[in-house]
Amino acid sequence: MTSEQRRTRATSADELCRQAYAACAGPATGVALVAVGGYGRGELAPHSDLDVVLVHDDGVDLGDLGSTLWYPLWDSGRRLDHAVRSMGEMVDAAKDLRVALGLLDVRHLAGDPGLTLRLRTTMLADWRRQARTRLPELKALTRKRHEVTGELAHASVPDVKEAEGGLRDAGVLKVIEASWLVDASTPALEAARLMLLDVRDEVHELAGRPSDRIAPEMWGPLAERLDLPDAEAAQRHVRSLGRRIAHLSRLAWRRTDSVTTRSTGEKGRRTPALERVAPGIALSRGEIVLDAGTKPGDDPSLLLRAAAEAAERDAVLAPTTAARLVREGAPLPTPWPAAARDGLVRLLASGPGLLPVWETLDEIDGIETFLPEWEQIRLLPHASAIHRFTVDRHLIETCAEAGGLIRHVRRPDLLLVAALLHDIGKSSAHDHSVAGEPVARAIVARMGFTELDADVVASLVRWHLLLADLATTRDPDDPATTAELLTHVPDAASLELLRSLTEADARATSTAAWTSWRASLVDRLVLRAGTALGAEASPVPPVEAVPVPDVVRREPGAVSVTVEAHDVGATVTVIAADRVGLLADVAGGLAALRVPVKAARAWAQVDGEGEWGVSSWEVPDAYLDATVVRERIRRVVDGTQRLPDLPERPDGELPPIVEVRPDASRTSLVLEIRTSDRPGVVHRVLTTLAGLGLTVASAHVSTLGPQAVDVFYVQEDGGVRPTELRAAAAAHAVRTALGG
């Protein structure tokens, strides 16, 4: 069914209504027959009702017009939904939001056109006047409908009208547009709406009744009617339309919320304010845009960094900005720069903000700029009915689930990348785990991870079903089951990753795929495998002795600071006579400058002339001045520098994990800390330890995506290993300081 055929059908229905009205000799003024709802937009489906209202001015005598008009329409065999109301009654009825929505697009059929014009004008004026208070009600109704019907792009039996991304949402976008608050209607929306109307017409014809649901057996016949190759192509086509409308709908509602909640002062601004949030990136009215003067071609990581900023802040990635970055941005080199890799991991770990930003990237063809393999599984239906999402959406949902599990692994970046790629082989005719392994290895290597990291992710993709299969089909307590698992899982770190990926994958599949019973079986097997692997010491990267400057040797209290710039920031090296609290003072100086610490190492270095504290800090600011850093450290030591407070842990953020590794060292207390990467984390930890009179013999700080993974080797003053009681007190104090 084409748009022309729909218009012809609506025109035929219009003519029938005019003939019926003329046959009843209706008055020439003060009375009008109008079409409302979908029929009001000329969208008459093969089996839908004629929704018409006979409207009259207050005081007009209709005689027997209202009781006789409907008979010729009934006699025609048309399904009819009708009403007779005065103009005043129409205004009163519009107090019901559902009625008001239908009256925003009435179309004149017969009678007095002036009355129809007055009705349209009145309804639109009332809507625009009340839009700020009525739109929240409309949003609540829309959300409730979505909860009942699901998403057109992903539901196993999608509803082309009521589901999220369906025709009803397309109509809601037109209603938002009519409020004049935001620009919600686009050519892409209208094109998608018209194509979805074509689908709805064919579904009606196939069902032989006004049903808007596409049953599984309909996809093949629907493909023939839409001139598509096969059932899978029909699914991709329909679900693509639903995804586009859903994306535009979410974007419109975000912008509507921004407008309706904007303060009075903001409403008066002629130009939006720009708040710089990262190099080249700014926030404006709840949307991530480019900062003034930023040139997309200068930084190949800019798209991923902007996407990460938007997702972490749960802000809109402005589509025009994203499209410009795709159009004008520099291509990513192979391997990727560290900033791009970090941006992707931060994006994947962003939680609720991930999906809308990823959809924006998908809509503007941005994903293929960094992950061209995505097109293979885009909108690909799952073969198994247990899956509630298409393959691509399932991968994003798995990332969202994995984001809540990053505290349980030492390499959250590898967990998140494995979550993104674990079903990348689904488009293959072979076992998707086998097919996906080499694809994942190539992608991870291209991203700039080490060869070992690429092997780990590839192994996770290959064996991501193994743990659940063994736990549920074999006896978890049988040593042979453990032995088979360990054949493919070489170490404790890999076991952590596989356990978390298994849970994230199952939770993203369906609520029935991860039950307490299934979790208990998996955990029993993981416990036995972990015991078989034995306890592992926290990995400690080796350090090399560095020359101590003469000024530090000669002058008590002197501090040496050097800054070495490189392609992704700078390395700040600080050397001074070792003492309790030295590292805390250095971290405080960097915190005072609001310089984020991406990685750090610190160690004590002893020679014939004394004991020196050496620390090396990786920061993203390549223009940091060594003199300024040294001065800030001096002011921290003197107590004249006011330090910024560490932001409190936001509601909903994962709590920090602080663990004592008793077997990791014979000479030191080893504290392993996993917490969100926030400004001042290192400073707060070191200050807490110094306050307990503990000294840090060695520190190994790293930021992996959104998570800081820090290992501190702690001793009493004089080099003595703290007692178990002191170790417990230190862990508790650090956990409390970080908001745990």
562 plus 656 within the same structural domain: yes
In a domain, 678, yes or no: yes
604 plus 501 within the same structural domain: no
564 plus 533 within the same structural domain: no
155 plus 221 within the same structural domain: yes
- Of 224, 258, 292, which residue constitutes the final position of a domain? 258
568 plus 654 within the same structural domain: yes
CATH number of the domain where residue 2 is located: 3.30.460.10
604 plus 571 within the same structural domain: yes
608 or 578: which carries more pLDDT confidence?
Answer: 578
In a domain, 546, yes or no: no
* Range of weakest confidence among 105-119, 192-206, 372-386: 372-386
Residue 78 scores a pLDDT above 80 = no
- Percent of the chain exceeding pLDDT 70 equals 92
| For residue 335, cis peptide bond before it (omega within 30 degrees of 0) | yes
- Percent of the chain exceeding pLDDT 90 equals 39
Mean pLDDT of the 284-296 span: 90
411 plus 449 within the same structural domain: yes
How far apart are alpha carbons 473 and 496 in whole angstroms? 21
Residue 676: pLDDT band with limits 50, 70, 90: confident
Mean pLDDT of the 193-219 span: 89
Mean pLDDT of the 279-296 span: 90
585 plus 651 within the same structural domain: yes
Mean pLDDT of the 84-111 span: 88
Mean pLDDT of the 437-444 span: 97
Mean pLDDT of the 499-521 span: 89
Mean pLDDT of the 247-276 span: 74
Residue 205 scores a pLDDT above 90 = no
192 plus 301 within the same structural domain: no
Mean pLDDT of the 198-208 span: 88
Token representation of residue 660 = 């004592």
Pairing of strands 610-619, 599-607: antiparallel
* Range of weakest confidence among 332-341, 455-464, 515-524, 721-730: 515-524
pTM recorded for the entire structure: 0.79
pLDDT of 196 reads: 92
Q: Cβ(382)–Cβ(394) under 8 Å?
A: yes
Report the 10 Å Cβ neighbour count for 181: 18
In a domain, 270, yes or no: no
Domain span at residue 310 reads: 280-370
Domains contained in the chain, number = 5
pLDDT, the chain, mean: 86
How far apart are alpha carbons 367 and 719 in whole angstroms? 52
Buried b (16+ CB within 10 A) or exposed e, 560-587: bbbbeeeebbbbbbbbbbbebbbbbbbb
Residue 537: pLDDT band with limits 50, 70, 90: very low
* Range of weakest confidence among 141-150, 156-165, 431-440, 605-614: 605-614
Mean pLDDT of the 233-262 span: 89
The strand pairing partners of 660, in sequence order, are 671
Residue 121 scores a pLDDT above 90 = yes
* Range of weakest confidence among 287-296, 528-537, 653-662: 528-537
Residue 542 scores a pLDDT above 60 = no
* Range of weakest confidence among 501-510, 657-666, 729-738: 657-666
Mean pLDDT of the 451-460 span: 96
Residue 695 scores a pLDDT above 50 = yes
CATH number of the domain where residue 665 is located: 3.30.70.260
Q: Cβ(255)–Cβ(246) under 8 Å?
A: no
Reported as a single tens digit per residue, the pLDDT across 124-136 is 999 999 989 899 9
Mean pLDDT of the 86-114 span: 88
Which one, of 98, 91, 106, 97, lies nearest residue 39 by Cα?
106
Which one, of 490, 434, 443, 439, lies nearest residue 463 by Cα?
434
Q: Tokens 């409390």 — which residue?
A: 736
Alpha helices in 602-658 (DSSP H): 626-638
pLDDT of 539 reads: 45
- Of 541, 564, 598, which residue constitutes the final position of a domain? 541
42 plus 80 within the same structural domain: yes
Q: What is the DSSP string of 521-541?
A: HHHHHHHHHHHHH---PPP--
Reported as a single tens digit per residue, the pLDDT across 314-347 is 899 999 999 999 999 999 999 999 999 999 999 9
In a domain, 377, yes or no: no
Residue 100 scores a pLDDT above 60 = yes
586 plus 709 within the same structural domain: yes
- SS3 of 83, please? strand
pLDDT of 538 reads: 44
54 plus 165 within the same structural domain: no
Report the 10 Å Cβ neighbour count for 478: 13
Token representation of residue 524 = 């029993």
Q: Tokens 């579904």 — which residue?
A: 203
Residue 684: pLDDT band with limits 50, 70, 90: confident
In a domain, 221, yes or no: yes
Which one-letter amino acid corresponds to residue 629?
Answer: V
The DSSP letter of residue 580 is T
Residue 103: pLDDT band with limits 50, 70, 90: confident
- Of 541, 573, 589, which residue constitutes the final position of a domain? 541
In a domain, 266, yes or no: no
In a domain, 273, yes or no: no
In a domain, 480, yes or no: yes
Which one, of 288, 419, 414, lies nearest residue 356 by Cα?
288
Q: Tokens 């349209």 — which residue?
A: 120
Nearest 5°: phi and psi at 316?
-80, 130
pLDDT of 41 reads: 67
